[in-house]
Amino acid sequence: MTDTSLTIENILAPDLALCRVPASSKKRVMETIAEQIQQHDPSLSDTEIFNNLVARERLGSTGIGQGIAIPHCRLEGLDHVVGALLTLEDGVAFDAIDNQPVDLVFALIVPKEATSEHLELLSQLAEKFNERAFCDQLRQCTDSDSLYRRMTVERS
């Protein structure tokens, strides 16, 4: 990977910021993420993304509490990091650490060999999502364009 300064701003494409997505379950959220990423990059397999997300989730829930989940996985053959942001129409059970339903999801798909980059991005995401006011702003977005802009605005 040549870009050593991976940020949320350069891994999230506008068409992968999805506002008020209907989802009835954790599994459906994972399917939606995989389908959207595959539509964004047809060279990727939605089945492979879905299976890897589910396999990672079996190791422990990526629901970090306060209605937020950061599902992530490594993908063989991927040469760049892909992010997807979803706000859900209704919260879904996600086995989160606080047992609260999740309605804010940021998925991270990284190359198989990415390690420090992967951890750095997870850290950046956790830091952003630790700001309750920021999360509230994301939840208040009514369209995907405003959701994308809100997520990628540099915050000081």
Q: Which residues are catalytic?
A: 72
Nearest to 83 by CA among 106, 55, 111: 106
DSSP 3-state assignment of 115? coil
Angstrom distance (rounded) from CA 75 to CA 23: 24
Tell me which residue of 31, 114, 123 sits closest to 77, measured CA to CA.
114
CA distances from 105 to 2, 43, 76, 120 (A): 27, 23, 23, 18
